[in-house]
Amino acid sequence: MNKKLLTLMAVLAASTQLVRAADQWQELFDGKTLTGWIQRGGKANYVVEDGSIVGTTVKGTPNSFMCTKKNYCDFILELDYKVNPELNSGVQIRSECFDKKKTVELGGKKIEIAAGRVHGYQVEIDPSPRAYSGGIYEEGRRGWLNDLKKNEPARKAFKQNDWNHYRIEANGDSIKTWINGVPAADLKDSVTPCGFIGLQVHAHKEAGLQVRFKNIRIQDLGNAK
């Protein structure tokens, strides 16, 4: 069997997997409680208000994350968010948090990860003039993996002081994002194949800044734990 045929078969299999998941949306947030979620990292305040998870900055605490108790590997994730223009935030996917300090080696470089440190892929929420919302940053490890310097349509798609919609597809070594229907990041990376989903409140010197998340749903394409 030649390589072209094998490649075509792999593409068709992936497409079939996506089609089969089309009517299998699962709500990750019930709109009323934080059932199924656990807070990690810092001590920002998370509450449920008007059908949204509301994260609020607390002065003097590090980055905070409201995380799913369940891990996901291959999936399609959609959600809406609204963020204060002064607050950086993000959506963690395939992320991890170790009970003990651990050293990992990536690309020939040793990276020390502190106990309790949330780390992994983050779909950026960036209301600053840089406008990298939808780009992929790796929290706690390698930094930027796919910024939006060369993607002006995606940078312009973010809506300040309004609700924005994310679609995130993670399938094998492929991670793709859309912001308000506009293609944003397209990354090939296989360092972390599975992990939890998390909603970030970034550390900030000012208390009381908020980010809101709602309509959080997922299509599990397999290997959830």
Residue predicted with more confidence, 109 or 153: 153
Fill in the DSSP letter of residue 152: H
The answer as to whether 104 is a domain residue is yes
Residues 210/58, Cβ–Cβ less than 8 Å: no
The answer as to whether 161 is a domain residue is yes
**DSSP-derived pairing of the beta strands 196-201 and 182-188:** unpaired
Query: Which tens digits make up the pLDDT trace of 162-221?
Result: 999 999 999 999 999 999 999 999 999 999 999 999 999 999 999 999 999 999 999 999
The answer as to whether 199 is a domain residue is yes
111 pLDDT band (50/70/90 cuts)?
A: confident
15 pLDDT band (50/70/90 cuts)?
A: low
Q: What is the pLDDT of residue 161?
A: 96
Query: Which tens digits make up the pLDDT trace of 53-98?
Result: 999 999 999 999 999 999 999 999 999 999 999 999 999 999 998 9
The answer as to whether 36 is a domain residue is yes
In angstroms, rounded to a whole number, what is the distance separating the alpha carbons of residues 93 and 102?
20
The token duo for 175 is 């991670």
In angstroms, rounded to a whole number, what is the distance separating the alpha carbons of residues 189 and 18?
20
In angstroms, rounded to a whole number, what is the distance separating the alpha carbons of residues 74 and 30?
22
Q: What is the pLDDT of residue 7?
A: 58
Q: What is the pLDDT of residue 115?
A: 85
Q: What is the pLDDT of residue 133?
A: 98
Please say if the pLDDT value at position 10 is more than 70: no
Q: Which residues constitute the domain of residue 98?
A: 26-222
Domain of 69, CATH number, reads 2.60.120.560
Q: What is the mean pLDDT of the chain?
A: 91
Please say if the pLDDT value at position 17 is more than 60: no
- Number of domains present in the structure of the chain: 1
The answer as to whether 122 is a domain residue is yes
